[in-house]
Structure 1
Amino acid sequence: MTETRSGRGRLVNRLAATGLGVRLIGIMLALFLTSVTLGVVGYVEFKALGASARSVGDVSVSRLFAINDIENALSDHEIAAERSVLEVDPFEREDLREAQRVATSAFGQALLRLRSLGLSVEETRIVDDLQRDWDGYLASFRVADRLAEDGDFEKAKEHFEVGVEQMAADLTARITDMTTLTRADTAVALERQDIIVEQSLRLIVLTLAAAGALALGAAIWVVRRLSLPLIALNDALRRLLGGDDTVRLPDFGTERNELSTLSHSAHALRDSIVETRRLAAEMKTQRALLSETVQNMPAGLCMFDGTGKLLVANAMFWSFFGMPKELSSGQGSVTLDRLLTQVGCRMSAARPGGGAAFASRMKALIAQRGSDSASWELDDGRHVLLQVQPVPGGWMMIASDISERVDQEEQALHMARHDTLTGLPNRRAFADSIDYAIATADPNRPAAILFVDLDRFKHVNDTLGHAAGDQLLRHVSERLQGAVREGDTVARFGGDEFAVIQIGQQQPDSALGLGDRIIDLLSQPFRIDGRLADIGASVGIALAPEHGDRAEKIMSRADIALYAAKSAGRGQCLLFDRDMLDRQNALIKLEADLKRAIELDQFSMLFQPLVNLDTGRITGAEALLRWRHPTRGLVPPCEFVPMAEELGLIVPLGALVLRMACTEAASWPDRLSVAINLSPVQFRRHDIVGDVTQALKSSGLPPARLALEITEGVLLEDTDDVKDKLTALKGMGVRISLDDFGTGYSSLRYLRIFSFDKVKIDASFVQEIDSDLGGAAVVRAVCMLCGSMGIDVVAEGIETREQLLQVMEAGCNEAQGYLLGHPLSREDFLEVEGRSAAGVFPGLGVEETPVLPPMRSAQAG
């Protein structure tokens, strides 16, 4: 008995002396055997479950995915098809056709995938029906698409709704049948899976319970004997490494095992770290003094010893020359040759041989222990002043950035000869280039000077804003530079005027060809802030020295040719000839005549009737200015009004129009009003309120009988000055109309910001109202919007009975156009108005009997 107890004691002592690693291995072995048992059981049960799941996943789910793809493809195709038969925009229709092709391809692929999934006889029959109905659907859609392509949208829509949508409904029914069969098969398979899962879970739960008990015991032992001691040691070491030198490390007792050995090592590590930190603090203080001095220098600095080894370099020096990160971080391994090579690389692209010249020059100076100070240009455009001088035991280089000083000098020179917006040469630099081209030109290949003026740029600038106009000018300069050859010159004079010098070509054919290319390039739309801007260009050409031997004369000739091109209808390219000079002189005379005409009052007025669509009566007229030249006869407004704006004569001319119109209207019956167009230049740059006040006062016309028509160009700047002027005019009782509504980009915003009495729909919408569904929709929408805001709507440009019926139906309050009355003299207008007041609709202004449909008041009666 005593021997038995003694044997047990020795066994306990041996177990106590056993290492933690051996004990942990035993625990892990037990857990491993339990896991193997659990794995075998799970494998057997889940193998059966997997077989059933694959049946559902590989067949049923795959079928459902394929059916879903078929249904999505049908839906995508039907949506695109319905939109395409109603879409009039050819580009949008092409995008919709592409969407239909994608949907058709997706439908076919999904149907093939469905056939490959082992279908039953019933499912195969449904798939065959699907294919047949799909073919019928596509055939029916092609009929509707051809009708839409031929422009018969009504029949296309009718065929789509009757034929195509019915075929789509049949397809949807087939898809539903297939889905129902597949889901039924899936339900049976899932029921079988539920039985297998229930059996598997029972066996797995039992096995898990046994494994859990063993794992819990092992976890408790590991936590108490390993985890908690190691966590305490880890926390202490973390605090020690974090800078806490006062931390106390845990003591694991005298038991001989791995933890006691680890504890002894941790104590030794703590003592070493504390001592190292003390020494590092002393070194840090010493190095900080030197580092602060070097790093805070306003210049780059590097120092080498006598062997060519880098001693120190500050961040400013590395940044100067763009040193690689690995080079700047390993200063101790940087040699003299390597640094000079890197600095030289930054200079090699600035000028030929720059890098090699720099390296050889620096090496010679260092070898001779000489000093030097020189300015160098880097490849990124910066300029640096390098100073090299010897120091005891080595040498140093100081680099100072003088780029700002150099840039200021170069910028001043550049700005004097270049356009600030586009960076192109300006008129001064261009004139110098012409003189140089004349001096160096081949007699058989004269230089050509092309003046380019943008057409419709002012419209873009007024409607999109000055920022968009500047962006457009930059795009124009890019296209012009892309159109010319190397050696040619492109310049901008200001505004929308550009110029080109072409050299070394056969003239004038080459210059005319370039001019045509420029017109084609600038006639292509520009995308400005997500919107398209359409402009054009006119080009005038002069040859040097054929048309002049000095830059000033050549430029004058090119300008004359440009004016002739613009007068010929814009979008033209013309070469200077003597006849143009004669026409230019005639134009100058016309300008003088215009100034004289304003002084001598050589203008007259015509009046175009404005008809109320509810009563059929004339309610007023729009005053239209005419100039009867003493020798030329009637000069069209399109010739003298732009000239008046350009010469600054529009202000006195506009004041004259106000006085004439108000004086004339004051003699009319009180029921009639007069409308006057105001130029944006006249409105923005002059005291328009004072002009209106003076015209009303001198004529005696009540303010309520005067309507001032302004365009969106007046409102574009949206300044307080514009708002104040409109408020003042409204306060006087003058009526304000927004003319050419719908041609700009911000019309709706203006309706909200400014209080208008009338809105005049631009004639371009009215003239297409009976042929363009979009135009008719715009007119109706404007009428509804303005009606809700208490604003009357006037339809301009009525020329046919159909147009009149359309605008009446849309809800327009008033209308004007050739159908209702041409511009008339005072006497003819009053005669037509008298017949209108007597109940006889004026028709075309010459008929005695009504030729138009009944007005809305008559229809209501």
Structure 2
Amino acid sequence: MHTVLSTLLFEHDLRLVALAGLVCALASFAGISILHHARRSSAHARYIWLAVAAVAVGFGVWSTHFIAMIAFRPDIPVGYDLPGTIVSLVIAIVITGGGLWIAAIGRGRADFALGGAVAGFGISAMHYTGMAALIIGGEIQWDLVLMAASVLLGMGLGLVAFVLSAWGRGLGWRLGGAGVLTLAICAMHFTAMGAVNLDNCYPVVAEGDISPAYLSMAVGIAGILIVGLALGGMMLDRHERRRAARETGRMRLLADAAVDGLIVTDGERVLTANSSFQRMIDAEGIDVTGCPLEELFPSTALAELFAQPDVRLETELGDGSGRVIPVEAVLRPVEYAGQERSAIAIRDLSARKKDEQQIRFLAHHDSLTGLSNRAAFNRQLHKEMSTARRLGQSVAVLCLDLDRFKEVNDLFGHGAGDSMLQAVAERLTGVLGDGQTCSRLGGDEFAVIVPEIDGPAQAGRVAEAIMEAFRDHNLESGSGALISASIGIALYPDNAETAQALIANADTALYRAKQDGRGVYRFFEAQMGAAVREKRLLENDLRAAIARNELTLVFQPQVGVASGEVTGFEALVRWTHPVRGEVSPSVFIPIAEESGLILAIGDWVMREACTEAATWTNRLPVAVNVSPVQLHAADFLANLEAILAQTGLAPGQLEIEITETALIRDLARTIATLDRVKALGVRVAMDDFGTGYSSLANLRAFAFDKIKVDQSFIRSVDHSDQSAAIVRAVLGLGSGLKLPVVAEGVERLEELEFLRAEACAEVQGYFFSRPAPIADFAAITSGRDRFLLAANATALPARMAV
């Protein structure tokens, strides 16, 4: 140790030693810093930075040695062999570079220790190679112990320096490692210099050939520049990498904010992927980096993507678990990490495909019941008829219509109606056999196709099975909404040659089934078609009757039996068809009620009758028949109130006549409506009394203002004891309830005399007057007369008194 210190203090120029130490410290810090920077770089960049570190450290260590050698002042002049000096520089770069490489590619501290030891050995090898380049005579004597100590110091402290620098990631650990490495270089050098003995050496160079001091300055400056450039390059690279990392982070945030999935690939594997892609393949929290593209996309799709950049391609994406996701993908070239890569944007089409599938389903199916719709039914029927035509077979079409379905909606609500339709669909599909299909045509209309039938009996068995299924449902459900259906059946080719005609004929048979009491099935018969067509032609013409002014009102007077005076009028509607002439009300009124036209016709009759009655000087009451369909309409009361207000007719002058059918349909609802009608001041009469059901119960349920006995009882009172007894009972009932009774259909004197004898209050019929335009009764409505005819003013009461 004394020899080493003596050599340092007395045989070296300490100023140059200080310069050598500065170069050594800078080179050590540069080497340690660039080593860690290389470890964080990519494979290609790592080798570049290792080369930079090797040059910086090697040249720095060599500069330290060269400056220290110039600072060495032996007793004899020495020179330096240029080739040998250059070899020592190359050794410094190569061996220390090898140590840096071992540490850079290593995974643990043991690799750092080995790399540090190799670098320390390289420093020693460079030193002794440089000493061999001394130009001096004689033979240098070496202290082998100090030589070994110098090598061990270099390797040992180099090992410690590298391990210490790897202990932590902060700047302090790198500074500590650089300091120990500087100590390693200096300790090795000066220990090695202490091992030199030049006593047996003699000069072979002149005093003027000794390397001048300014050369050490030049080498030192060059070393500092090289080390500085290396450090500067590293700092610039780190700054660029941090900037790139920040930019990548921002791009990553933007990519993660995107709804579509995004991956960057090198053509074979995934380099990075955004969070949307991770969620798409249900791999959140799993790093998909390095995943082969062939595990994600079909090979044909990959080939097409890379062959046609910027072209959208619909394909499938696999998530590795067997699930396949329909996607739309587009590839575009991008720069990633300084290299040209490929970015693939991926849009999940699962929702769109599901929507498209739903749209396709709805295009051919009913959304409520899931059955095929009318369009699909027509296609299937054409297909079955074509097959039957080719094979000589028969096809049956069954048209179903639910009975009183509107009442289900009105009583229980539309939710109950929808549930009933779904139950019908379920029962239909459950009862049909293979090849038989059912469809919902709209509303409460259903249709069934039964192919390959052997005759009408088989179609009838299908209809019976359907009705039995509905009855079973009613027994099982126990709800108030019971399923009942009417069914019409038509057969191909017996009843029609075309699909349109076949459906029309089945619909005609359905109409007959409804006429025959509902809840039954009927086969199409030729004569049905003519009757239905006639009825539908009338219905079509009736729709335009109001607009064409084809409807008119006639009035029939009601007469007091005791006085013979006119007590009021009943307004009756008539239809004069432009071709058919007068159409009987018994023909067109049922058609109007079935088609719903009665609402418009009834409103027109009510408005015209009230308008007319409001002009009469003699304020006689006017009676207007109201259909059950009108009475149950939601806007009936509002329309009635509006008509009274607009026409100016006093409510007490209006009397509405209803039949018992209105009460049977929905007693509670009808009574509530009639109560509100009477609250307006309008009178209410029961028409056609005795022809309906539960007549006495109906009279008890509502306080009618008048009872009208049906004409079927009046026409035979003088020769039928039964009719006479019924009329006598009704008149007695009216007297007991203090209700005036009007007898309709009085046509003969004998009928009138019977009614007078039984104290009937009012009569109406042809005996007094046929229904006629109101102008025929101008004398009565103006108040000029109280009787129908001036000639009868005395004659009629006389006849009635007989």
TM-score, normalising length from structure 1? 0.41
Which has more radius of gyration?
2
TM-score, normalising length from structure 2? 0.44
More helix by share: 1
